[in-house]
Amino acid sequence: MLKRIASYIVVVFCLTSCSAMTGNISVRQDANEVQTAALYQEMLSADNGKPNVAMLNLFFTRMPKGGDLHHHYTGSIYAETYLEWVQAKKWFIDSCSLRIVTTKGADACRDLTVEELLKDDALYRKLLMVWSDKNYANHFHEQPPPDSNFFNTFGYFGTVSNEYMQEGQEILKQRAMKENVSYIETMLSRAGAASADTFNEKESVDLNAALRKTNKPCELAVLFDKIAARLDVSNAFNEDVQGFVHMVDTVHEGIDDSNFTLRYQTYAVRTLPPLQVFTDLYSGFKAADKSPLVVGVNIVAPENNSIALEDYTLHMRMFEYLHRRYPNVNRALHAGELTLGMVRPKDLLFHINEARHIAHAQRIGHGVDLPYEDNQLVLLKDLKQNAAVEINLTSNEFILGVEGSEHPYLIYADYGVPLVISTDDSAVSRDNLSHEYVLLASRYQPGYDKIKGYVYNSIRFSFLSDEDKAMVMQRLDRRFKAFEQEMSCFAQGRLK
């Protein structure tokens, strides 16, 4: 097989030349693409019929990857960087809890400077394991459940995560460019409005109870109108929205250039009381309506949390209401990040369905519980025609234990649902977008045409403006042209 592929590459290579840049350009591009596809196919079966993972790592690191659309800012900054920021702030690490403390305490646990922590290698390595997924499964230690380990990490570095946000954007940009990612759509933060600044304690209690008691859409809309009217005249609320927009403008300065583009989503946290969730979503929709840099609104936090489960449909109704008020604001929702045994069977039946049919999500994040949802075939048809699914292989494997043939990627791909490949929280998982493509290729062996299609989907289904999308698409075309020429030359060099 390898000899046949090699011979095929040699024959095709005669159509072009890596050293002579003459001849018909369209023919040369076609030939380079064919050679690149053949080289990729060889990598899938080069090691006694198994994928050559090292070669795939090289291939996908070089390959243009368009955009990373399911991307959390705080989960994409490495623990080591957060420690540098703690050091710069002259803060401390509690030696017992391994949490950040801003002032040195007098309790039994010693508060360490970062310099002192780094001198204790065992403690430092332990910190990396609780601030990320590093070394979680490769040795025996006291382990929380994987999903808890993953989501707990944010509580450790959250104190410092927003302190150097402008520097953080630059770190993300430089890392992305090194692995040929030209666009990131990151979930930056909540807009920061607090419901308690507008509603007193009794009002909050009464409204939370009313929101959870009411299940008729028309009655909920009346409640939402009432809450929105109060927020609209709240100085604190409006100042928070404007402050968030200003903050985004500030941290974004100097980021976009001819090689890279960055945009932002804001979000609500689905484990909070419903009045606060609505406040977060409303402030997010308002911010997205005001700022061209804030391109969408999401909802985050563990989907299997008891509050998230209880309020799921209520949250979808909030999106439905706000979509009617702000029809031009984009919506990407974490939905179906669940699997059998994680929750009761009844909670697997409707999350993706409601994200689509109530909240009108344009993209579904994760979508893992698809096989268990009601009306899966109707849902698949709807997704194929109206939305895209964000595939996050590493986090799905770690959090849910879903990988290989158990992952619904195979269903989505076979049915033709638009897919985008993304990282989720690359620093918590300690991987990158190239690695996600390596997992995709080595596990499922899609053809090069499908791989390339997923890359273009990451721009096609992004929330960029039409003008920016066209610009990034043209940039992607140029990068693929250069990449495929490079891979053609690489293929020839390996055969000498």
Per-residue pLDDT of the chain (496 residues; tens, 9 = 90+): 444 444 444 434 433 445 443 334 444 558 999 999 999 999 998 878 899 999 999 999 999 999 999 999 999 999 999 999 999 999 999 999 999 999 887 666 889 999 999 999 999 999 999 999 887 776 556 667 777 776 777 777 788 888 899 999 999 999 999 999 999 999 999 999 999 999 999 999 999 999 999 889 999 999 999 999 999 999 999 999 999 999 999 999 999 999 999 999 999 999 999 999 999 999 999 999 999 999 999 999 999 999 999 999 999 999 999 999 999 999 999 999 999 999 999 999 999 999 999 999 999 999 999 999 999 999 999 999 999 999 999 999 999 999 999 999 999 999 999 999 999 999 999 999 999 999 999 999 999 999 999 999 999 999 999 999 999 999 999 999 999 999 999 998 764 4
Beta-carbon-side half-sphere exposure of residue 352 (alpha carbons within 13 Å): 32
Residues 109 and 248 in one domain: no
Q: Write out the H or E segment, with its range, that includes residue 279.
A: helix 274-290
What pLDDT does residue 113 have? 95
Q: Is the residue at 306 inside a domain?
A: yes
| Residue 55, both tokens | 């070669």
- How far from chain centre, in Å, is Cα 152? 17
What pLDDT does residue 189 have? 95
Which residues form the domain of 111? 79-161
Residues 199 and 340 in one domain: yes
Nearest in space to 179 (alpha carbons), one of 432, 426, 421: 432
Q: Is the residue at 471 inside a domain?
A: no
Q: What is the CATH number of the domain that holds 294?
A: 3.20.20.140
Residues 298 and 413 in one domain: yes
Residues 125 and 175 in one domain: no
| Residue 170, both tokens | 């630059």
Residues 103 and 213 in one domain: no
d(CA 269, CA 249): 23
Residues 137 and 211 in one domain: no
d(CA 66, CA 260): 10
Residues 346 and 442 in one domain: yes
**φ, ψ dihedrals at 245, nearest 5°:** -60, -40
Residues 286 and 344 in one domain: yes
Q: What's the start-to-end Cα distance of the chain, in Å?
A: 18
Residue that finishes a domain, picked among 161, 177, 195: 161
Residue that finishes a domain, picked among 142, 161, 180: 161
What pLDDT does residue 12 have? 41
Residues 336 and 286 in one domain: yes
Domain count, the chain: 3
Residues 176 and 156 in one domain: no
Helix axes 53-62, 433-444, angle to 10 degrees: 130
Residues 145 and 177 in one domain: no
Residues 175 and 58 in one domain: no
What pLDDT does residue 139 have? 58
